[in-house]
Amino acid sequence: MKEILITKQESNQRVDKYIRKYLSEAPLSFIYRLFRKKDVKINGHWVKQDCIISEGETLTIYVSDDQLKEFVKTKEARKADLKYPIIYEDENILIVDKPRGLLVHGDSLEKRLTLSNEVLNYLYFKGEYNPKVTSGFTPAPAHRLDRNTSGLVVFGKTLPALQELEELFKDKIEIEKTYQALVVGNIKDRIEIDLPLIKDSNSGLVKVGKLKDGAQKALSIVSPIKQYEGYSLVSVNLVTGRTHQIRVHLSSISHPIVGDGKYGNFMTNRLFKSMYGFENQFLHAYSIEFKKIGGVLSYLSNRKFISNLPKVESDILNKLK
């Protein structure tokens, strides 16, 4: 038998989802057999799998010590301060300024050195997360940035906060993400790019397509910030959030992002490498603004968080005519 006191971090989720995370190595058939045999209780009362757990409740799972050893996999974390700038933090969320070159989540080539792991180490260091105690919820980012895009990433430190953040980023009505990019050519007026996007299964690249062929609706709003000789610094507001949306949209109107190796201009990229040693896409997640929101994050309504351009990009702008 295992008794677990539900914390604030873990609350507000279905009990079966919690147990699936806690007994992460157990087959689904085993987990749902627990419910059929009435081997799951909350505060001493048998519950069904769709029961929502709350902070302070005691969850009892009737499993043997051998089954716990077999099915519980402790997450790894080491206590360490966060080496990346924290733009904002409270008991519910953490907003981090991610450098370019760092993955938010792990991929097939890199699983350890990620922003998510660094944040978990930091929260462990602060005593707000303990992988040996908390298995039903892990703090996580509510959205993603490409490896080579710098800027703001928002993490949910509790499950209710993460659920609310994910809903906000999904609907994109009460939250606004703005990027800054240096593009080829001069953009002097506001442009709405309303072009559906589809991923090419052969090349892995995203391209403009047709809705009838499976492309997804994508809308970007581009506004000029400053003009340079042959280039423009622009802000881009994502109305939708498709993979590589900003990069493909800007390339599709003949204003590719400087340094973009997939969708950019080869000659421009070679020029910036030779003149400035710059080999990355000039794209930065500049701001996140919360509109009128409710729920556990209602206190963030009408607040805006900003990450200024990194020094490398700022220095390049200062050298451009």
Pick the closest to residue 60 from 73, 41, 82, 86 (CA basis): 41
Give dist(CA 81, CA 180) in Å, integer: 29
- Band of pLDDT at residue 300, cut at 50, 70 and 90: very high
Domain ranges of the chain: 2-71, 77-171, 174-321
> What CATH fold (topology level) applies to the domain 2-71?
3.10.290
> What CATH fold (topology level) applies to the domain 174-321?
Pseudouridine synthase (3.30.2350)
Give dist(CA 36, CA 281) in Å, integer: 53
State which CATH number among 3.40.50.300, 3.40.640.10, 3.40.50.2000, 3.30.2350.10 fits the domain covering 77-171: 3.30.2350.10
Q: What is the pTM of this model?
A: 0.81
Cβ atoms within 10 Å, residue 175: 20
Q: How far is CA 247 from the centre of its chain?
A: 18
Q: What's the pLDDT score for residue 252?
A: 96
Phi first, then psi, for residue 113 (nearest 5°) are: -85, 85
Give dist(CA 311, CA 321) in Å, integer: 18
Q: Are 14 and 52 in contact (CB under 8 A)?
A: yes
Residues 6+ away with beta carbon under 8 Å from 210: 196
Catalytic: 66?
no
Mean pLDDT score, 163-170: 92
3-state class (DSSP) for residue 95: strand
User: Could you say which of 107, 146, 171, 260 is catalytic?
Assistant: 146
What average pLDDT does the chain have? 91
Dump pLDDT digits (tens) for 100-150. Answer: 999 998 654 545 689 999 999 999 999 888 877 666 788 999 998 989 999
